[in-house]
Chain A
Amino acid sequence: MIPVVLESSLAPVLTPLPVLVPMLAAAMTLFAGRKPRLQRGITVLALSVVLVVSAALLRLADRDGTIALQVGGWGPTEPGMGPLGITLVVDRLSALMLVVSSIVLLAVVIYAIGQGIRDGDERQPVSIFLPTYLVLSAGVFMAFLAGDLFNLFVGFEVLLSASFVLLTIGASKERVRAGITYVMVSMVSSMVFLFGIALVYAATGTLNLAELSLRLESVPDGTRTALFAVLLVAFGIKAAVFPLSAWLPDSYPTAPAPVTAVFAGLLTKVGVYAIIRAHSLLFPGGRMDKVLLVAGLLTMMVGILGAIAQSDIKRLLSFTLVSHIGYMVFGIALSSELGMSGAIYYVAHHILVQTTLFLVVGLIERQAGASALERLGGLAAASPLLAFVFVVPALNLGGIPPFSGFIGKVALLEAGAQDGSVLAWTLVAGGVITSLLTLYVVTRVWTKAFWRSREDAPEGHLSASAPSALVDNTEESMDIQLADRDDVGRMPVGMLMPTGALITVGLALTVLAGPIFAYSERAANEVLDRGQYITAVLGDGR
């Protein structure tokens, strides 16, 4: 281990790299479109670099406090004035999000490459996949780094445009149908966001988050609440909070496994991150907390009840994804330090576990040729390794001790009990019920897909004609006899390894729960305090 000295002066150099490196790599992979090996090399290298940079930023932000970079040096020209240009800000919260998302992005791209090699994509035109994936990464990182509302909007748009392409890749019938819903809903949410930006600009004359948080204090209360409500609707659609969540289970399950995995892990959490920023930095005081608490409760309950009704594992997991967003909204809406740190820990946990589960579904499809519960059976006997790989993140999602899901949920429930109001106690009860129902849902998958023998499955003899690959050019997905599939029953190492790596990272959240939870407490403290953020961006003499 080489001792690396991280100088504080490195911070301005490192801060823009998570956006710059994937963007440049995307351009390079486009040029290398005809050389798949070179393309893969560039992608993995770029995302590894971002991982290292994010880890360094996390260390710096934790040690030296919030880092603010005025791009191009267009910072505040004198005390009391806001920056003129774009500001990138790294505090503990965004550094944590950077690290977790770069781990997930790297693991998923290795998984996708492993899957692609297995599917023989040399003949198929997927040269667009890796560049788009890199643009998506750049958009996610840009959203986490953004120091002003409009840059946040641009980050959202970059990641959304890339996600449109990834969701409809191959443009089969099913994906086009799902893609249309997804594009329209996402664009409506972007329009609402832009509308909110215009209103905020009208009310304050600035879009810089730090300057906004000062100027919004002098805006009349009613106007502030209205502005917050407009922004919450925009972020709520992106985060899939209950009344605005119906689009998610419709569109995610049709995409190829790695794409669904990265969408499920990251895109909704970008929305949650934006809600945290708006709630604590721009509009502190919790005027919408009751609304958020009710929305959180409904998200949990409606999501998990939806999951019970599903029979396709991908759709079932999409509903649990919606359901568990409710926990984060719950933690945010409590407006307490414990609630916020629980929410931050839960975001990190949920990104990892939800991505892992979707990757495991890809493995199940590979092993058994189907992802519908009617067609699955006997997987525990067929592949004990797959059973292990499924059961660890599944129990983690259900919140079984000692996994990280349990730790996050306990923190949130404690915060709810500490709050003590009737609504908070209702949410505590709702959280416990949701957790139990999640356990029921994953147990149902376990008993059906893993324990019973495949002969007992109602449609066990059928399977899809091909695994849902990156490029799905079949005009109509057709069912064939399982016995006719000669490619099932083998999981490529390239897909297993990244899944295993993500499970290990998920377990590390348990093993290192002490330091990590202490970190998320510091992050929550910093987020709720606001002073550090504002001083870092505007300077001391504000």
Chain B
Amino acid sequence: MTTYLVSLIVIGGLVSAGVYLLLERSLIRMLLGLLLISNAINLLILAVGGPSGNPPVRGRTSGDQTTTADPLAQGLILTAIVITMGVAAFVLALTYRSYRLNTIEEVSNDPEDTRVSRLSGTESAEEIAERLDPDLTRDTDLPDELDALPGYEGSR
């Protein structure tokens, strides 16, 4: 199969820019990276469809009319575009929600991961045992700050 070098260079450029953006922490940049990669792949599918040829009707040649493109490749691209668009809309909604909740739109670390990894190495066994010991001073019948939480006032 022969293909054009220009389209391959464009695809390569789009993918590398997309990968660069995906490695960022900012959600909008990650989304842009995803969109660049998906467009690059759509172009790739178009390129692998090959040169134009006879109409896709079996046993028909239409004389010297060989300007019809591969319809399957275009069908695949159309499906891929629709899927990417839906997911992009979802990611945008998620980004907005994340911004509303955290006032930043960045991927944050998993707090549980951080907690578990802190358990290893940096602390001595006594420190960990001390930290994991039950805090007996909190276990009283006296009202504490938890009783002041909305909805739990005077629950004791």
CB-CB nearest in chain B for A374: B132
Q: What is the CA–CA distance of A104 and B80 in the complex, to the nearest angstrom? A: 30
Interface size class of A (residues with CB under 8 A): 35 or more
CB-CB nearest in chain A for B115: A311
Give chain A interface residues in 161-194, CB to chain B under 8 Å. 161, 164-165, 168, 171-173, 176-181, 183-184, 187-188, 190-191, 194
Task: Kindly list chain A residues whose C-beta atoms are within 8 Å of the C-beta of B146.
Answer: 479-481, 484
Any A CB within 8 A of the CB of B124: no
Q: Could you say which of A105-113, A295-303, A334-342, A454-462 contacts chain B?
A: A454-462
Give chain B interface residues in 25-68, CB to chain A under 8 Å. 27, 30, 34, 37-38, 41, 44-45, 47-49, 58
Interface size class of B (residues with CB under 8 A): 35 or more
* Contact between chains at A180 and B41 (CB < 8 Å): no
Q: Contacts A188-B22, A458-B132 known; A484 to B152 CB distance under 8 Å?
A: yes
Q: What is the CA–CA distance of A184 and B45 in the complex, to the nearest angstrom? A: 22
Which of B73, B101, B152 has the most chain A CB atoms closer than 10 A to its own CB? B101
Any A CB within 8 A of the CB of B125: no
* Contact between chains at A176 and B98 (CB < 8 Å): yes
CB distance from A170 to the nearest CB of B (A): 11
Q: What is the CA–CA distance of A202 and B44 in the complex, to the nearest angstrom? A: 9
CB-CB nearest in chain B for A455: B134
Any B CB within 8 A of the CB of A315: yes
CB distance from B121 to the nearest CB of A (A): 12
Binary contact readout B64-95 vs A (1 if CB under 8 angstroms, 0 otherwise):
00000000010010011001001100110011
Q: What is the CA–CA distance of A291 and B79 in the complex, to the nearest angstrom? A: 33
Task: Kindly list chain B residues whose C-beta atoms are within 8 Å of the C-beta of A187.
Answer: 34, 87
Task: Kindly list chain B residues whose C-beta atoms are within 8 Å of the C-beta of A309.
Answer: 116, 119-120
Q: A194-B41, A311-B116 are in contact. List 7 more A-B contacts (CB 8 A).
A: A164-B87, A168-B94, A180-B27, A188-B37, A198-B44, A201-B45, A202-B47
Chain A residues packing against B (C-beta within 8 Å):
77, 150, 154, 157, 161, 164-165, 168, 171-173, 176-181, 183-184, 187-188, 190-191, 194-195, 197-199, 201-202, 250, 253, 309-312, 315, 374, 457-461, 475, 478-481, 484
Could you give 13 example pairs across A and B, Cβ below 8 Å?
A168-B94, A171-B97, A180-B95, A183-B91, A191-B34, A194-B38, A195-B44, A197-B76, A198-B41, A199-B48, A201-B49, A202-B47, A484-B146
